[in-house]
């Protein structure tokens, strides 16, 4: 069991207070308008939240993976879309940190940590979601450059990203062992955004399709070694899945908070509905699920920092469990609010829509079961 120390608890309280004051009042409008909240990005930037995964030697503010998870949890408690600003900044940077040269880390670390550049993670393709070996994007070495062709889809913050960590085949005959990673800047000729997706939830986080047509990528922008891209991607997901779990815990906690408030205020048959056993037991079950998901998530985040050999296993466990909890708890919170819960005047339907994505991205929960069983049966 991982317990927060005083410094971590204080940090969480600071982010929670900021989220309550600045993020929560904007959450409904962000969802309705479907626009990226630049004002909140500036607040996160000023608080140093965009550099929580960047070590100090590269211009960041990293104090441990748990701090990133805490920040995302507390923001997601108010608005999942806004939490993705912090989450995706870490996701796009992580492959550079894991496999990149010192030059790449020193070049992009300060830009990512300061928020001067938004970064994205470019792995998924129309024909390559869970099956990375089906990747069509290719990069061919020509002198001191690679010529990159292909496309990426469902890329969080992709339409706005200044820098994208892109995965492409450099030797298709080797399958996943032929995948390499590159740092691509939006100014590179041949790069374009072909589509902004219209989504069920997280509408304030832009998701798009990115196209690369004969993009010339300097050889020095290769992340690590050729053929190691898939390894870097999987190691990145091991670190990012606890962050998605934290996002799930946050939205579940936010829905529970609002359900409790509603149940204490809503009067039926002469008394608040919280006094009816059917409602109070629902709330008790929801609370237990949230606490269990949080404990599992914090434990996984701690394993990331300790480089525990069970990190892949526990990261998949917490992501699967917490996202399922988020879906159950937000659905139950909406049920407690009844007809009002179904209305857009209340936050329950938005939180339920936002919760769903946590079961899908960073690896579907079906893939999480494969990862868990594979690790368990080694």
The closest alpha carbon to 65, from 22, 120, 11, belongs to: 11
The residues assigned a catalytic role are: 362
Q: Does the pLDDT of residue 133 top 90, yes or no?
A: no
Please give the structure tokens belonging to residue 197.
């997706």
CATH code 1.20.140.10 region(s) in the chain: 233-376
Rounded CA-CA distance 245/252 in Å is 10
Report the 10 Å Cβ neighbour count for 108.
Answer: 26
* Sequential DSSP letters for 156-214: ETGGG-SEEEEEEES-GGGGGGGEEEEEEETTSTTEEEEEEPP-SS-TTS-EEEEEEEE
Question: Model pTM greater than 0.95?
Answer: yes
Task: Say yes or no to pLDDT of 102 above 90.
Answer: yes
Q: Work out the percent of the chain whose per-residue pLDDT is above 70.
A: 100
Read off the pLDDT of each residue in 141-145 and give the average, rounded to a whole number.
97
Tell me the pLDDT of the chain averaged across its residues: 97
Which residues make up the CATH 2.40.110.10 domain(s) of the chain?
Answer: 119-229
Q: Measuring CA to CA, which residue among 42, 44, 65, 70 is closest to residue 55?
A: 65
What is 6-114's CATH superfamily? Acyl-CoA dehydrogenase/oxidase, N-terminal domain (1.10.540.10)
* Buried b or exposed e, range 295-322, using 16+ CB within 10 angstroms: ebbbbbbbbbeeeeeebbbbbbbbbbbb
State the average pLDDT over residues 289-308. Answer: 97
Q: What is the mean pLDDT of residues 137-162?
A: 98
Indicate if the pLDDT at residue 1 is higher than 80: no
Helices (H), the chain: 6-18, 24-33, 38-47, 65-76, 80-99, 102-114, 229-265, 277-306, 311-341, 348-356, 365-376
pLDDT-based confidence at residue 65 (cuts at 50, 70, 90): very high
Residues of the chain with CATH 1.10.540.10: 6-114
Q: What pLDDT shows up at residue 132?
A: 86
CATH 3.40.5.90 for domain 119-229: no
Instruction: Fold for 233-376, please state it.
Output: Butyryl-CoA Dehydrogenase, subunit A; domain 3 (1.20.140)
C-alpha 304: how far from chain center? 16
């Amino acid at each position: 069991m991982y317990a927060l120390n005083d410094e971590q608890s204080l940090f969480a309280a600071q982010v929670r207070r900021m989220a309550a004051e600045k993020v929560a009042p904007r959450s409904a409008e962000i969802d309705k308008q479907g626009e990226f909240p630049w004002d909140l990005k500036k607040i996160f930037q000023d608080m140093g939240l965009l550099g929580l995964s960047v070590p100090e030697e590269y211009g960041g503010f990293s104090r441990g993976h748990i701090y990133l998870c805490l920040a995302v949890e507390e923001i997601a408690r108010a608005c999942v879309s806004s939490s993705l600003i912090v989450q995706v900044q870490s996701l796009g940077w992580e492959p550079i940190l894991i496999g990149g040269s010192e030059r790449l880390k020193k070049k992009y670390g300060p830009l990512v940590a300061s928020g001067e550049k938004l970064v994205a993670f470019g792995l998924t393709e129309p024909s390559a979601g869970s099956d990375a070996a089906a990747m069509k994007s290719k990069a061919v070495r020509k002198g001191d450059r690679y010529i990159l062709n292909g496309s990426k889809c469902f890329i969080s913050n992709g339409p706005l990203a200044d820098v994208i960590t892109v995965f492409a085949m450099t030797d298709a005959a080797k399958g996943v062992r032929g995948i390499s990673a590159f740092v691509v800047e939006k100014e590179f000729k041949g790069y374009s955004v072909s589509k902004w997706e219209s989504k069920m939830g997280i509408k304030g986080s832009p998701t798009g399709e990115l196209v690369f047509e004969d993009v010339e990528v300097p050889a020095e922008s290769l992340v690590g070694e050729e053929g190691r891209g898939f390894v870097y991607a999987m190691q990145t997901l091991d670190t990012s899945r606890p962050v998605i779990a934290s996002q799930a815990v946050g939205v579940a906690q936010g829905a529970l908070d609002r359900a409790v408030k509603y149940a204490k205020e809503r009067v039926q048959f002469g008394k608040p509905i919280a006094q009816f056993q059917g409602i109070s037991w629902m709330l008790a079950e929801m609370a237990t699920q949230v606490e269990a998901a949080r404990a599992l998530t914090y434990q996984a985040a701690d394993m990331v920092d300790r480089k525990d050999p069970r990190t892949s296993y526990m990261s998949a466990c917490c992501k699967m469990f917490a996202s399922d909890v988020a879906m159950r708890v937000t659905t139950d919170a909406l049920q407690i609010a009844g007809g009002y819960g179904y209305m857009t005047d209340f936050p329950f339907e938005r939180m339920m829509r936002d919760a769903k994505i946590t079961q899908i991205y960073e690896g579907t929960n079906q893939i999480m079961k494969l990862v868990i069983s594979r690790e368990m049966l080694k």
